[in-house]
Amino acid sequence: MATISTNEFKNGMTVETGDGLFQILEFQHVKPGKGGAFVRTQLKNLRTGAVIDKTFRAGEKMESAFIEKRQKQFLYRDGADYVVMDNETFEQLTIPAAVMAEAGNYLTEGSSIVLLTYGDEIVGTDMPASVELEVTETEPGIQGDRVSGARKPATLETGLVVQVPLFVEVGGRVKVDTRTGEYLTRA
């Protein structure tokens, strides 16, 4: 493994500290008027998803972690777990729901997903910014109810419930933001 200095930090970089495997969300080099310089960081634990603030001395060394991205195809759900297939070797892999986290709300059979791996351990997923899903259940829009910006709940094919405009009907397809879980537009 490569050793890096805190002077080489970049947003999105992954490092391994004694506390675990972290992705650098933000960092700031600080040089106070007196005393030594330090680096203030905001780190996301890739195993638990927790975000913490941590301060390092300037020039402190730590291990850089290599995170590999592997393209997979989602096949089906097996109870709470997800079954995916490697696109090159056609090997099937069962992934626990805890690892998939929010990504499971946007997966339909046959859709592709990028798994983030550290060695043989799956530490997260990389979803596209938005996905198109079909509306399976929603109340009909009431004639005359044309309040600007009015919304109603709609259940999508994955079971996710989002707030949509009144004109969206059952069977329609909508585009949903995977980062916020909000309706974007009709598809």
Q: Domains in the chain, start-ordered, CATH in brackets?
A: 3-64 (2.30.30.30), 68-126 (2.40.50.140), 130-186 (2.40.50.140)
Mean confidence (pLDDT) of the chain: 86
Dihedral sign, Cα of residue 130, residue 134, residue 137, residue 138 = positive
Share of the chain above pLDDT 90, in %: 11
Q: What is the pLDDT of residues 100-125, one digit of tens each?
A: 878 888 888 888 888 888 888 888 88
What is the model's pLDDT at position 181?
Answer: 84
How far does the chain reach from its first CA to its final CA, in angstroms?
45
Lowest mean pLDDT among 43-47, 48-52, 141-145: 141-145
Residue 182: how many CB atoms within 10 A of its CB?
A: 12
Q: Are 99 and 113 in contact (CB under 8 A)?
A: no
Q: Under DSSP, is residue 164 helix (H, G, I), strand (E, B) or coil?
A: strand
Dihedral sign, Cα of residue 89, residue 76, residue 175, residue 69 = negative
Q: Are 84 and 113 in contact (CB under 8 A)?
A: yes
For the cut 80, the answer to whether the pLDDT of residue 141 exceeds it is no
Q: 40 phi and psi, to 5 degrees?
A: -95, 130
What is the model's pLDDT at position 42?
Answer: 93
Query: In which element (H, E) is residue 98 found?
Result: helix 97-100
What is the model's pLDDT at position 168?
Answer: 85
Task: State how far the Cα of 12 lies from the Cα of 43, in Å rounded to an integer.
Answer: 10
The pLDDT-based confidence of 41 (bands split at 50, 70, 90) is very high
What is the model's pLDDT at position 1?
Answer: 61
Q: What is the pLDDT of residues 58-96, one digit of tens each?
A: 888 888 888 888 888 989 888 888 899 988 888 898 888
Task: State how far the Cα of 39 lies from the Cα of 60, in Å rounded to an integer.
Answer: 9
